[in-house]
Structure 1
Amino acid sequence: MARLLAVLIACSFIAACTSTLQPEAPETAEAPSEVKLPDYAQAQKDKLAELFVVAENYDPQFRTQVNSREEKLTALLLAKDVGEIDGEQRFEVPAELISVWSYFRQLQLVGDAANLKAIWEGSDGSGKAHEHWYKTDTMNVFQANSIPARESVNYTMIIKGKGRLDAIRLDISEDGISRVFDDSPWSVLGADKPILPVTLDADLDATLSIGGITEFETDKYFRVYAAPWGGPWGVHDYFLDHGFTPGRQIYKIYPALELGYDDEYPNKPPFTEDPNRPHHADPAFFDSGWTWPQTIPDGIAERYPDLDYVLCLDEWPSFNRHAGEGIVNSRGTPKDFVAAGETAGRTLKLIVEQTGIAPKWVEVKNESDVPYEWSYHSVPDGQSWIKLADFHNKVAAGVKEYVPGTLVGGPTSAYPNFAGGDWRLARNQLEFMDNTKGHLDFYAHHFYESEALLFEDSLREGKNTYLLGRMTAYLDVVRAHQANTDNVVPLVISEYGSLSGGGKDHQVWKKLRNYSAFMVQFMQRPDELDVTVPFLIPFIWWEPEANDGIFKFESIDENRDLGSLTANREGIASGIPGSPMTGINPSKPRWFLDLWNGYTGKLVPISSDTTHVNVHAAADGNTLWVAVSNMKSQRLAVDLAGMIGKRKVKAAEQRRLYLDSGDLIYEEVDVCKQLAGVSLAAEETSVIKITLADPIVSEKTLTQTRHYGSRTLMPSGEPQSLAISAGDVVEPNSATLRVAVQRNDGFASPLTVTFNGNAIEVDLSDSQGIAKYDTVKEIDIPADWIKAENDVTLNQPDEGGMLAAAVLLLTSE
C-alpha cells in the first residue's frame, strides 16, 4: 500500500510539473523608474562632470557620434606647439588634470618624438623615466596608468632628448566618452524594451555530430587561467570539484630564470649567457641539478596526472634582446631566433622535469601581434610579420628538439581586429599562416570584449563587439584560408574575457557574462577548437584588493608596505609545504563554476528562432542540459516546452547569473511549471537542467559539416565568384550559407547571393548607421540546390565593404 501511495504521489508530481505553463510574457516595456546610485557610483558621476569642466581649459577634442550626433570627448592637450627640443623641457602638470587622470588611456608625445623620453617628478620625491608603449611615425606613446597620479602630489613632466614636439596629448579613447553618466548598471537592464518571446527547436531523438564529435568535451571548455602548479592546492581542489581544470599560464624566462623568484624557487643557480655562444643560455644552468620544491610534482601527480594544458613562453633573457636606436623592447623580444629556440626548448624540458607533466600546447610568444610584445612591429621596414613567422619556425624547431611530441603554435594574437587598416591586419595574419605552414601545429588567438554593458546598444553607439557575429566572421576567415592553402590545423583560444576592470558587481558581471557568452559560441565549433581558456584567475594573490578571482583575501592589512608584492605572501606561493587555505574565501566569480557544474552528455541538435540568442544542448541519461546565451539588449521569455513535446518532465532547474539593479545575482530557480516562458535577463546566459521521467534515447545521428568557400577577403562593389565543394554530402537535410560582411556605417543595398544559378536577396538594412558593422549573415539554402561542387556569386554593390568569407553548413542524416 505504501509503495502504491508513493507511485501515485510521484505521478501527481509529474502531472503538476507539466500541466501548468506560464502564460506568454508581456511584450510591453516597463515605464522608466528613477535609478538610485550607490555612493561610489555617485562619486563617479560627479567626477565625470568634473572632467568636462576641466577639459575646457585644455583644447578638448571631440568626436561626433554618427547616429545620435552626440559629441564625445576623445582627448585633451596638455601642451601644443612646443617646438624643437634639444636637451630637456619641463612642464608643470596642473592639479586639476591629476584629479581626472584616471580617464586618460595614453600620454602621447606628438611630432618628431621617437627619441624623446618622458620623466615624471613628484613633490613627494617620486619620479622616474617611463617605458614607451609603442611608437608611430608621428607619436611616442606611453600608457597613462603607468604614470603616478596622486591628488595630493604636485607633478612635473620632463621631456628629454632631441626632436620636435607638436603637442602633449592626453588620449581618452578613439570612440570618446559621453558627458552623460551611464547609470544603466544600476537599473533593470532591458526594462525600456519589450520582453522578447523566443522559441527553441530541438530533436531529442537525435545525436548531433559536429565534424565527428558527438559528446560534449568538458576539457575543451571548462578551464581556469592557471598552470597545474601554483597554490594553495585547496584552490585547485575547489575548481576541480566543479569540473574545471587549469588551462593556460605564461612562463616568463627572464624574470623566472635570470632574475629568479627566491621565495618560490630557492637555491637557483645563476642563469647566464653561454661564454662561447652569444645570445645563447649557458647549458650549465640546465645541467646543474637544480630542483623545484617536491610539493609541486607531488601536487600535480595527485590531481593532474594526464592533464593537457597550454604553456606560453615569453620574455627572453637580457643577453638576447632586440635593441637599437628608438627600439622599445619591454617584453623581451629576442634578437637571435636560433638562440631563442634553444633556450625555449631547454626551458620547456626543465619545466617538464620539475613538474612531471608536459604541456600539450606551447605558445612561443604572448600576444605577438602588438608592438609592445613584438618590438619589430615598431621598426618601419615592413618586415615585422615576416620576422615573426621566422621566429616561430625556429623556436618551434628548438622546442620539438628538446621535448618531442609537443604541439607548438602562435601568433597568440592580443587583438585580432581583422578589419583594421582596411583589412591589413587580416592579411598579416593570413600571410603569417602561409609562412609558418608545416612548422606550427596550431594557431592561437585571444578575444576580449569591450567594457560595454549592452552590446547591441553599444554597436549603435559606434563601438566594436565580438559577440554579435564579428568573432564568428574572423574565425571563418581563418578556417577558410586554412582550407584553401592545405594548412588545416586546430585553433586554440588561450585567453578570452573582458577588457573591463574593477571588482564592483557590475564590473565582475561583465567578465562572467563574457565568459559564458564566448563559451557557448565556441561550443558551436568543437571540431575546430582544441582548447579554450577564459581569463578567470583562481586567486589573484599579488593584488590583495582584487574581487574578480575565484578566491579573495578575507581581509587586507591597511598598514601593509605598498611596495611589497602582497600583504601575506607566505603560504600562498606555490611549492611551500602545507600551503594554507586560511585567510582566503571563495568570491562571486565562483558562480561561473556553479553555473556550468555538471553540464555533460551527448550533443543534441538545437536551434533558436532569434538572432543573437545562441543555444547548446546535451543529453545525459534522463537529463537534458540546455544552455541559452542571450546577446540581445532585451529580456527574453524562452519557450522550451514545445521542443520537449509529450515527454514527461520530473524536474526543471534554471541556473541564473545576471545583473539586476547593480547587484550580481546567482540563483537556482524551479521552472518546472514555466517551461513555456523561461525568463532571461538582458545578456544573461542561463543553464537549464531538465530531468525527464525516461532516458533520452537517440534513434539517429545528424551530422553537421562545414564547407568553406574558395576565396576570402572579397571587396564589395562588384560581383564576387567563389566555389564551395560539398564533397559527398549531396543530399543534406538542411543547408545554411554563412557570409561574413563588413562595411563602416553599414550597407545601403541588399546582398544578392546566387547559388548554383538560383538568386536570393539578403536584407542588410539592419546595418545602416552602424559605424563598425562587422558580422555574419546566415542564409537558408534549399537542400535540393546542393551539388558536389557549388558555384556561388556574392553581389553587394556598395563600395568600401568586405565579403570576408563564406561557409556552407550542411546537416545530413
Structure 2
Amino acid sequence: MDMKKYPSLVKCLTTSAFALHISFVSEAAFAQAATPASVQLNLDMSRSVGGVNTLSREKYINVHAINSDLDWWGGNGQSLNQPNLIDDYLTDFVKGNDVYFGRDSGGIGYEVSITPQSATPGYADLAWMVNTPATPATPAGAKSPANNYKNYGYQTAAHKAIVESNEFEKRMNSWILTMIPEKFYPVGGKVTGAKCTTTGSWSFSTGDSATEPYGTATGKFAGKYLANYFIGGSITNPSTGHPRPTFVEGVNEPIYNLVDIAVPNTGSTFGDCAKKATYDDIFKYHTNVRAEINALNSGTKTVKFGGYTPAFPDLEEFEKYPADRTSGSTAVFAKWNARDALWMSNHAKNMDFLSLHIYDFDGIKFDGVTTRRINHKGNNIEAILDTYDSAQLFASGVLKPIVISEFGGRLHTAEGSAWTPQRDWSYIKAMNSLMIQFMQRPDRIAKAVPFVPLKAEWGRVSPTIPYQWRLFRQEKEDGVSTSSKWTYTELVKFYKQWNGVNGTRLDTYANDQDIQTDAYYDSANKTVWLILNNLEENGKTLNLATAGLNTGNAVSTVEVRHLYPNTTTGVPVLDVYSNATIPASIGIGAESTIIMKIVYNNTLSISNSNSETKYYATVNGITSALKAIAANTAMTFNINNVTTGANGEAVLRVSVGRPITASLQPIVTLNGTAVTVPTDYRGYDQNRNGSGRFRFFGTLEIPVARSLIQQNNTIVVTFPDAGGSVSAVALQNRITTRALSRP
C-alpha cells in the first residue's frame, strides 16, 4: 500500500442467495488506471522456506469443527430440529472439498458439565470418568463416560458409521482442543454454567500454593480426559474411535475474557466470577496445567500443550481495553510490555507451542463515533509474527511452533443484524489474504484454523439474529425462501476455490508488495496451481509471465477461479472459467484472490531451487526485545552466521511500532552501505486519514543487493524523529541454483 494513498472501500449494498457462478468476467471490470503489477512464475524452480517445500492442506485448509460435531447432521437440537438441504454435509463438504478438521471446545466442555465433584472440593471425580457409574447415568447408559465419548456414543448408528470411517478419522491428525474460560479457568465459575454464575454444580479449585499450584485441579481433569476419552491413530494408521488431539490450548482468549471485559461478581460475561484474573495467574495456570496433563499422558498419549491464545495481539497498543483507547495515552507497546513480555520471559519457554488469534476488523467504533478499519493482513501480521519469533530468541534462544487457532474477519457495524452475504465477504477476503501470508511460513506455523464454525446455534443472539460466522444457514435467511432447511453460507466459496490445490512449491514473484503470489506443482496430475491475492482496496491489472518451461512441454488447459465482491452489490462471486493458455494479463478484484489451475501436457522438469532461511538480529547492548527509537540516533543490529551464495536475493525486515504519523523512512545501512527503504509497504495504509489503527505497527521489507550479504552483518537504523520501538530485525536470505531476473 502506497502511504500516500487512501483508496476507497468496496460498498456492500444488497443481498443475494448463494450461487457458484460459472462464467467469464471481463478483465476490464477489475482493471484500474494504476500501473499494472508484474508477476513471474518460474516453472523450473522449487521454493523452500526453512527446509519445507510442500503444501500441507491439513495445516491450512480446515474448518473450526471436528468429525464428531453434531452440527453436521440435520433434525437435531444443534439444527433447531430442522433438516439439512443435503443429508450428509460431512461427506459433501469435507470429502467434496478435501477439507481437514481444525479445532473444538464443545466435547470437553460437555464432559466436564456432567462430571461430579470428588470428595475433595474443587476437583473432578476422576474415577467416575473411567468407571461405569450408577448415578448419574451417562447418555449411553451402562458405558463409562470415557468409553461412551471415544466410541462416538452421541452419534446415531447410521451417522457413527460415517464419522468413524477412515475418510474422516484420517483428517483428524492435527486437530486442536481448547478449554473455555467460563468452565475451566479457576476463578469460581461453575462447570455447568454458560457464564460464571453463583449457581450450578461445582467449580474448579482456586488453590495456589506450593502443594497445589494454581490450575492443578483443571490440569488433573484435562489430563484424565485426554488419557482416557480418545483412541490413538494417524492418517496412515487411523483408529476405530475418537482420535486424540495433537494440540491442546490451556484456555481460550483468557485475558480478554478474564481481565479486559471482566467485572467481578456480576455474572454478566464469561470472566465475571469471584475475582478478576491477573496476567501472572493466567500464565502460571498454563505452566501448571501442562505439568498435570503431561503426568498422565506420555508415550503414544503425548499431546502438545500451549497458549496463551490472545484474542487481539495488537502488541503496539494500549494496555487496557477499552479505557486507554480514549485516554490520550501516547505509549507505544504498552500492551506488549505489560502482557507479552511477561509471558515470553517466564512462561512461553514452558509451552510446546504458542497460539494466538488474528482477525481483521472491517468496521469498528471504539469511541462510538469513528468507524475504523483495523487490519492485520499485510505488513502488520508480518510484524506480529517476526516480533514473536525475535522475542522467543531473546528470552530462551528456542523457537516454539506457532498455532493460529482462529483467524478471519469481522464487520462489527453489521454484526447486530441478520445474516447477509456481504458480511460473509468481509470474512472471506480476510481469510484468503491472511492464510496466504501464513503459508509463507510453513516452517514456523504448525496449524492455522479459519474461524468457520458449522451451524453454531450455541452463539445465536436472538430468534432473528444467528451467530455471525457460520458455514451453514437456513434457506429462509436469504429473505426470499420460506424453507428452514440448512444450506451453505457464502463461506463455502473459500473452500471451493482452494479445492485441489496441492503439491511442491514453485518460485513466484510480484513487483508490487500488495500482490501476494504463490504456486504449487502437483506432479501426479501435471498441474500447476498459481495463487494471486490483491491486498489493495481497488482492482488491479496483473501482467503474467512464466519462465523455465521444459522443451517440448505446453499448456493443455487453464481453469481460472476468481473470488471477488460483485462491484455493484458487494456479494461474493466465485467465477470459474477456462482458457486455452495462461493469459498475458488478468484483472483482479479489490482485496480478491485468483487461483489458476494450469494443466500441462507433460511433466515439468524442476531442476533448480530457491532455498530461504530467516536470520534474526541480536542487538548491541540491550537485553529487551524492543529497541526504543530516539531522533537521529543510530541503532545497531547484528545478524551473524549467514550462509552466503553466488545467486539469490535477500530482504531486510525491520518491524517497528510508532505513533501513527511518525516517519517510516529511516536511514538504513547494511555493512556500511546505504540501502533504499521503499515508500510502499505490504497492505493498507494503517492511518487511513484517521480512520485506521491508533498506532503504526508493521514490517518494512527492504530488498538488498546479494553482493552486500556477508557471513556476519551489521545493520544500522536511524529514524529522523522519536517515538516507538524497533521490535524485530531479520534477514530473509534466499539462495538459488541459478541467477534470477525479476520484472
Distance 1:235 1:798, change over 3 A: same
The Cα of 1:358 is off from its aligned counterpart by 0.5
AA aligned opposite 2:178: C
Is the CA contact 1:235–1:538 (under 8 Å) kept in the aligned structure 2? no
Residue in 2 aligned with 1:774?
697
Residue in 2 aligned with 1:91?
none
CA distance, structure 1, for counterparts of residue 41 and residue 545 of structure 2: 11
In the alignment, structure 1 residue 408 sits paired with structure 2 residue 305: yes
Residue in 2 aligned with 1:637?
541
The Cα of 1:758 is off from its aligned counterpart by 1.4
1:402-430 deviations in Å (ceiling 9; x for gaps)? 22210000001111010012213223213
Q: 2:354 aligns with which of 436, 443, 466?
A: 443
Task: Give the secondary-structure state (helix, strand or coil) at the position aligned to 1:812.
Answer: strand
Residue in 2 aligned with 1:592?
494
In the alignment, structure 1 residue 223 sits paired with structure 2 residue 144: no
Task: Give the secondary-structure state (helix, strand or coil) at the position aligned to 1:626.
Answer: strand
Give 1:76-225 correspondences, 5 Å limit.
194=33, 196-225=35-64
Distance 1:385 1:548, change over 3 A: closer
Q: 1:282 aligns with which of 125, 133, 138?
A: 125
The Cα of 1:437 is off from its aligned counterpart by 4.4
AA aligned opposite 2:613: T
Task: Give the secondary-structure state (helix, strand or coil) at the position aligned to 2:345.
Answer: helix
Is the CA contact 1:449–1:514 (under 8 Å) kept in the aligned structure 2? yes
CA distance, structure 2, for counterparts of residue 248 and residue 600 of structure 1: 22
Residue in 2 aligned with 1:691?
599
AA aligned opposite 2:253: E
In the alignment, structure 1 residue 344 sits paired with structure 2 residue 222: yes
CA distance, structure 2, for counterparts of residue 527 and residue 627 of structure 1: 20
Q: 1:390 aligns with which of 266, 279, 284?
A: 284
CA distance, structure 2, for counterparts of residue 412 and residue 36 of structure 1: 32
AA aligned opposite 1:449: D
The Cα of 1:247 is off from its aligned counterpart by 0.5
Residue in 1 aligned with 2:178?
312
The Cα of 1:320 is off from its aligned counterpart by 4.8
CA distance, structure 1, for counterparts of residue 295 and residue 735 of structure 2: 44
AA aligned opposite 1:250: S
Is the CA contact 2:97–2:499 (under 8 Å) kept in the aligned structure 1? yes
The Cα of 1:200 is off from its aligned counterpart by 0.7
Q: 2:503 aligns with which of 588, 591, 601?
A: 601
Residue in 1 aligned with 2:211?
none
Q: Which moved more, 1:382-391 or 1:492-501?
A: 382-391
1:337-372 deviations in Å (ceiling 9; x for gaps)? 111211221232343159531000000100123143
CA distance, structure 2, for counterparts of residue 356 and residue 219 of structure 1: 18
The Cα of 1:392 is off from its aligned counterpart by 0.5
Distance 1:550 1:412, change over 3 A: same
Task: Give the secondary-structure state (helix, strand or coil) at the position aligned to 1:797.
Answer: coil
CA distance, structure 2, for counterparts of residue 314 and residue 478 of structure 1: 24
Is the CA contact 1:649–1:691 (under 8 Å) kept in the aligned structure 2? yes
Residue in 1 aligned with 2:329?
none
Residue in 2 aligned with 1:131?
none
In the alignment, structure 1 residue 716 sits paired with structure 2 residue 629: yes
Is the CA contact 2:559–2:597 (under 8 Å) kept in the aligned structure 1? yes
The Cα of 1:401 is off from its aligned counterpart by 1.9
Is the CA contact 2:181–2:257 (under 8 Å) kept in the aligned structure 1? no
Give 1:1-16 correspondences, 5 Å limit.
none
Is the CA contact 1:723–1:791 (under 8 Å) kept in the aligned structure 2? yes
Task: Give the secondary-structure state (helix, strand or coil) at the position aligned to 1:549.
Answer: coil
1:37-79 deviations in Å (ceiling 9; x for gaps)? 5599xxxxxxxxxxxxxxxxxxxxxxxxxxxxxxxxxxxxxxx
Residue in 2 aligned with 1:491?
402
Residue in 2 aligned with 1:301?
164
AA aligned opposite 1:256: Y
CA distance, structure 2, for counterparts of residue 553 and residue 339 of structure 1: 41
1:449-487 deviations in Å (ceiling 9; x for gaps)? 11249xxxxxx9864211121011010000112233222
CA distance, structure 2, for counterparts of residue 684 and residue 507 of structure 1: 15
Is the CA contact 2:259–2:277 (under 8 Å) kept in the aligned structure 1? no
Q: 1:668 aligns with which of 556, 560, 576?
A: 576
CA distance, structure 1, for counterparts of residue 680 and residue 563 of structure 2: 33
Is the CA contact 1:386–1:435 (under 8 Å) kept in the aligned structure 2? no
Is the CA contact 2:184–2:251 (under 8 Å) kept in the aligned structure 1? no
CA distance, structure 1, for counterparts of residue 247 and residue 398 of structure 2: 18
Distance 1:534 1:735, change over 3 A: same
Q: 1:527 aligns with which of 434, 443, 447?
A: 443
CA distance, structure 2, for counterparts of residue 364 and residue 602 of structure 1: 34
Task: Give the secondary-structure state (helix, strand or coil) at the position aligned to 1:803.
Answer: strand
In the alignment, structure 1 residue 746 sits paired with structure 2 residue 643: no
CA distance, structure 1, for counterparts of residue 28 and residue 629 of structure 2: 37
Is the CA contact 1:252–1:314 (under 8 Å) kept in the aligned structure 2? no
Aligned residues: 591
Is the CA contact 1:248–1:312 (under 8 Å) kept in the aligned structure 2? yes
1:727-779 deviations in Å (ceiling 9; x for gaps)? 43465521110111232233347211121111224255987866532222111
Is the CA contact 2:40–2:545 (under 8 Å) kept in the aligned structure 1? no
**What are the ranges of 5 or more consecutive residues in structure 1 without an aligned counterpart?**
1-31, 41-187, 261-270, 454-459, 559-566, 569-582
1:382-405 deviations in Å (ceiling 9; x for gaps)? 992222221111100111222221
1:602-625 deviations in Å (ceiling 9; x for gaps)? 100111111221111111233111
CA distance, structure 1, for counterparts of residue 382 and residue 618 of structure 2: 18
AA aligned opposite 1:411: Y
Is the CA contact 2:32–2:541 (under 8 Å) kept in the aligned structure 1? no
Residue in 2 aligned with 1:657?
563
AA aligned opposite 1:618: Y
Residue in 2 aligned with 1:758?
673
Is the CA contact 1:512–1:589 (under 8 Å) kept in the aligned structure 2? yes
AA aligned opposite 2:529: W
Is the CA contact 2:184–2:204 (under 8 Å) kept in the aligned structure 1? no
TM-score by length of 1: 0.66
Give 1:235-384 correspondences, 5 Å limit.
235-238=89-92, 239-251=94-106, 256-257=110-111, 259-260=113-114, 271-275=115-119, 277-288=120-131, 289-290=144-145, 291-292=148-149, 293-294=152-153, 296=155, 299-302=162-165, 303-306=167-170, 307-315=173-181, 317=183, 320-322=186-188, 329=196, 335-336=206-207, 337-352=215-230, 355-372=241-258, 384=278
**What are the ranges of 5 or more consecutive residues in structure 2 without an aligned counterpart?**
1-7, 17-26, 74-87, 132-143, 190-194, 208-214, 232-239, 265-270, 319-331, 365-369, 620-624, 737-743
Task: Give the secondary-structure state (helix, strand or coil) at the position aligned to 1:451.
Answer: strand
The Cα of 1:206 is off from its aligned counterpart by 1.1
Task: Quote the sequence identity (%).
Answer: 20
Q: Which has the larger radius of gyration?
A: 1
Is the CA contact 1:280–1:320 (under 8 Å) kept in the aligned structure 2? no
Is the CA contact 1:330–1:373 (under 8 Å) kept in the aligned structure 2? no
AA aligned opposite 2:285: F
Task: Give the secondary-structure state (helix, strand or coil) at the position aligned to 1:475.
Answer: helix
Is the CA contact 1:748–1:765 (under 8 Å) kept in the aligned structure 2? no
1:276-304 deviations in Å (ceiling 9; x for gaps)? x2321122321332324546575443134
CA distance, structure 2, for counterparts of residue 371 and residue 684 of structure 1: 33
In the alignment, structure 1 residue 506 sits paired with structure 2 residue 422: yes
Task: Give the secondary-structure state (helix, strand or coil) at the position aligned to 1:450.
Answer: strand
Q: Which moved more, 1:674-683 or 1:525-534?
A: 674-683
AA aligned opposite 1:713: L
1:549-599 deviations in Å (ceiling 9; x for gaps)? 3333345899xxxxxxxx99xxxxxxxxxxxxxx43333322111100000
The Cα of 1:797 is off from its aligned counterpart by 2.5
More strand by share: 1
